[in-house]
Amino acid sequence: MLRRLVVLAPVIAACHGGAEARSPEGVARLTLTADDTSLAVNESTALRVTVYDERANVLYSSDGGPVADSVSFAVEPPGVIAVESAIALAVGRGHATVKATFGATSDSLQFVVEGMLHGSDVTANETWRAADSPHFVRSLIRVGAARPVTLTLEPGAEARFGLGAGLVCDREGAVLTAAGTPDAPISLIADATQTTPYEPLRGLWSGVLLTDSRSDLRHVTMSGCGRAVSIAANTFGACLVLSRMFADSARPLLQSVTIRDYGYAGVHAQGGAGFAPGSQKLVVTNGGPAVLGGGGLPILITANEVATIPPDTAFTRNLDNRIHVGELTNVSTVVASTQTWRNFGAPYVLHGRLLVFGDGSPLLTLEPGVELQFGSGTGLHVGQHGPGGLIASGTAGAPVVFTCPGTQKLPLSWDGLVFGSSLAAGSRLDHALVEAGGGARGFGPSGEVLVEVNGLDSLITNSVVRGSATCGIVRDWMPGTVNTDYTAPALNNAFAGNNGGDQCGP
């Protein structure tokens, strides 16, 4: 539980008449108690002294009244606990006995001091040593000042975080270096002593926010973090938040990092942030539910940074075991650089339109077996807002899938695919499945796949287009001498359940 710095001194209880204190000669027994006898270095606890007469009447108590100057404290051995004004402060690691004496009576408490309490922002370079573990953090601690500051966690260090606590590296040049080793990993975990039925380990503490690409996490385990933003103000919703601030889109190095038993989200890479080249072995597992239910999202990341996810990442046993692309709002997200989205065995879910375009005509490649799930009012627009391309080449056993979330694949669940007039050469759908789309496009034609360029015979081959609320494939160009026919047997496409026909247009 949280320990409060409450100053309560031993005091003298007044006589019935209130004129003077009782005589010390009537003392028969003394008791010494404390809020907690297990402390960390820099942590304090209130001491309470109560003195009774032989009939168990309270003569002196620490609950109020003038200070009893005749109560004294002694500590053995010195250097572990210091006592002042009835406050016991842990100043060193080890075991110590605190003895309170009043007249001829006394009582003792045994204290154990282990670990280190951190309660102040880190404004100069600082190292948390493995030998001082566990390191206790019971609030949000900011790293950084007017100059660059690095917080270093030694290999083997363990930090335990309390309710809503976390590390916030949001000053310019604020760097976290947590370079563990296989034999001496670093642990960032929830402080289990603070849990209740209403505050389970999942989402107990906030997490770590990084805004500088020089930060690195190696052989690190994070657990019990990812506190939902709807519960308390001092949270940011994910165990690990990578954020663009200042002039840097944070791309820290992650190697052999495991995020487990989290609440709302595992990783949130926002504003153009992602992972550094060389990152590997990220595991996000066993997430959710959050304190109020839901959550368990392994990763949220903007579209242009999806390719920075380490290639051997594993998302397993999460409540919502999908890769969330964009923000959790219906806002478009853009792929502006050439990249490949890997098949991690978990679907990608799009919360807004996915746009592929930009300077240099970026090309988005989807590996065989990749599944993209689009919500209502969203879709994939390639080369429509500017030059860009798509290569979605699956196999007969592992097609690339474009669909809606859930098990019910109802028509009109999402808008569909658009291949615009600035489509890059070499774009293609091969061994792909497109289903449950065909949403309205304003005043334009509606279909599950809309193609604005004539003559691209190899654009759609060996693919299935089904379950459209309108047309299957819309050929949105002016009639030409020869118009590409995507229903031609030579292209080996299949169609089913398209309400407006399998193919529309000239």
Q: To the nearest 10°, the Cα dihedral for 481, 483, 489, 491?
A: 120
Same domain, 492 and 349: yes
- In this structure, is residue 239 part of a structural domain? yes
Where does a domain end: 321, 349, 369? 321
> Does residue 1 sit within a domain?
no
Both 16 and 133 in a single domain?
no
- Within 10 angstroms of residue 326's Cβ, the number of other Cβ atoms is 22
Lowest mean pLDDT: which of 18-22, 61-65, 174-178, 400-404? 18-22
**CATH assignment at residue 32:** 2.60.40.10
Same domain, 156 and 23: no
The mean pLDDT value for 344-368 works out to: 96
Question: What average pLDDT does the structure give for the chain?
Answer: 89
Residues 6 or more apart in contact with residue 117 via CB below 8 angstroms: 39, 40, 41, 42, 43, 90, 136, 138
- Does residue 94 register a pLDDT over 80? yes
* Per-residue pLDDT tens over the stretch 305-315: 999 999 999 99
pTM of the model: 0.86
With cut-offs at 50, 70 and 90, classify the pLDDT of residue 330. Answer: confident
Lowest mean pLDDT among 84-98, 128-142, 433-447: 433-447
Q: For residue 21, what pLDDT is reported?
A: 39
Does 221 lie in the same domain as 130?
yes
Q: Tell me, yes or no, whether 3 lies in a domain.
A: no
Q: Which two tokens stand for residue 287?
A: 């997430």
Q: Looking at residue 3, what is its pLDDT? A: 40
347 and 208 housed in the same domain: no
Return the DSSP state at 143.
B
4 within some domain:
no
Residue 195 lies in a domain: yes
Total number of domains in the chain: 3
Q: What number is the average pLDDT over the span 357-374?
A: 97
Whether 107 shows a pLDDT value over 90: the answer reads yes
Of 113, 128, 155, the last residue of a domain is 113
Amino acid identity, residue 144? Answer: G
pLDDT score recorded for residue 2: 36
At residue 466, the pLDDT reads 97
Query: 184 to each of 178, 180, 205, 221, 321, how far by Cα in Å?
Result: 11, 6, 23, 11, 30
Q: What pLDDT digit, counting tens, does each position of 216-269 carry?
A: 999 999 999 998 765 444 456 899 999 988 767 789 999 999 999 999 999 999
**Share of the chain residues as helix, strand and coil, in percent rounded to the nearest 5:** 5, 45, 55
Averaged pLDDT, 122-139? 96
Separation CA 230–CA 227 (nearest Å): 9
In a domain, 2, yes or no: no
- Domain-located, residue 6: no
pLDDT at 369 over 80: yes
One domain, residues 299 and 357? no
pLDDT at 128: 98
What the block records as the tokens of 436 is: 């449950």
- Same domain membership, residue 194 and residue 168: yes
The whole-number average pLDDT for the span 69-73 is 79
Domain boundary among 295, 321, 347: 321
Query: Which range marks the domain in which residue 467 is found?
Result: 330-506
Are 148 and 171 part of one and the same domain?
Answer: yes
Q: Does residue 345 sit in the same domain as residue 446?
A: yes
Is 288 contained in some domain?
yes
91 and 202 share a domain? no
Q: Are residues 109 and 126 in the same domain?
A: no
At residue 30, does pLDDT exceed 80? yes
Q: Does 123 share its domain with 109?
A: no
Type of residue numbered 475: R
